[in-house]
Structure 1
Amino acid sequence: MARSVSFGLASYTFSFSSTPSSNCTSTISINDTYVTYSVYVIFRYIPDSLVILHNDIVVNYTCSYPLNMNSSLDVGLNPFISSYNITVVGSGTYTTTLQLFKNSDFTGPYTSSDLPLYLTVETPLYIGANVLGADPQKFSVRIESCYATPSNNSDDPVKYNIISNGCPLPGSTGVVFYKDGDGLQAQVSMKLFKFTSYSMVYLHFSFALCSGTCVPNCGSRDGNDDSVIGVSNSKPEGPFIRIDSTGAVSAATYVFPWASAVWIIVALIKSM
């Protein structure tokens, strides 16, 4: 505390601190908006005679400080918009389901309750494929190739080609396209045949996913189509159980896996 005295007037200067002091201890109170320091100061008359002529004076000094303070930046800002380039790289797959149907309108799919299947040579096979997840406004699926082997090994050296570059090969077994290259469904039929020296027939399909439509023109096509952006090879289909004209079974009983068959078409998206 500092004191200055002039004629008839005395002034005092106090310094408050939140640090405890044995000589001067302030109290603190806080509400939602202010913190307030308070301290009591006693002014006591010190007599220089036998008697005291004046009372002591107790003064409660308080000082409040706001808890919320405002401040402004003294620098003016001139904002502009910038852009950030972000590249995300990934890959995905589309799932294609394949089914064998009983009827020429591609209804009545064979189910597990129909197994095993016994089919005669020249029996029409109605096969439908459906791509799941692709945008129907932008893509179509086309049957790119189909061939048969006497085993479930797609690399079996014994092979009978049926469809190549989206078109039936000469001498193929009655291939008819019902829907192909125009939408996310493909439908084809062919006649069942028999390998001369083998009892089983497995079918292997390859599909092409194209931008827009890619209906094959098998009378003039050269086998190339720039709209094709993805090709997928299927797992083998079959085997088919054949019955000859006398009704005799020409192959052993075998579980037919159509109902659970699922294949993946990899969409190798390229710039369009």
Structure 2
Amino acid sequence: CCNDEVTCNPPCLTDEKCANVNNVATCVCNDSSYAGKKFADFSPLLTCLPNIMVISVSQCLLTHLGFDYTNMHLLNNDSDICNIHYPEIINNNRVESMQLKVQSGWCGNKMTFDSSKLYYKNSLYIGIQNKSVITVNPMTLNFTCSYNMTMQTSLIYALKPVLSTVSISGPNGTGSYALTMSAYNNPDYTSPIQAEDTVEVGTYIYLGLFVKDADGAAFTLRVEECYATPTSDPSDINKVYIVRGGCAYTNDVDSWVEQNGKALEARIKLSTFSFQSQTNVYIFCNAMLCPNTTNSQCDKCKTARASSTYTQTMINIPLDDNRFLNSGSQKAVSWTVMLGFILVLLKINN
């Protein structure tokens, strides 16, 4: 006449069972799902996303092992933000998760790197249940996310990279985004030239431009024009063009546009040079964001509408003055001359 079976709605998860708790059908952990499980069977889930790391642990397994998943925090919990965790469902199991910024020093994050990757490390503390019989000690869980070295991430570890960041507007002046230009030693654009470096004339450098926090499905970055002058005056008549109409301009110096108008990054390879009797080279680039559409001409060689406004910024590389020709010399510059200050003025098209 009677049926003690209870039914939960919505149905319980894989490692749960439906039980009568104070006359309410409630999903609770099903201990039989973890019969015989030991601490060695505990395996957290670590998800490494571009801007955040997410570490997740099974609520029921931790409870079965004697831990208290409600008492978890990062070891460096000086700020309340380092203690925030939340429940969610992953693979039909209830887990407790915590998010971390991919940022060195954030809540104790430690960053290391090698030639190809960046590593972010941290430690998660998980307490034990308040029981009369204690079978485990509090847990410290070390975890690491690795990220490939890229044009953008390589600037994170560089102490004093040669770079310039300005604001760029979207098409028709919509939105505002960070546009960064930097110089690199290698064709992978992962070894930034730093402030204390010197670059020999005749060697290759790689100019990288990228836009952060913009929607790559909506926009692409186009570098319309780059040129060099011996002074910081963008109107200096002694111009040497590197890029014109979005493509390499090789009448004066060797240059290659390796990527332009197809993504939120632009890549330009350049054979370095110096102006006669000058110790400085100033490089100016005009850039714009294009709509990312099927009929976009953003990656084509053509002349765009002249910019009506622009933003200026400046970066430099110190020189080995002993390796420059005498300033009074009128001879052609030798290949031992060093590329001097790289000062970048980024013109931004509306």
TM-score (norm 1): 0.50
From the CA coordinates, give the structure whose radius of gyration is larger: 1
TM-score (norm 2): 0.40
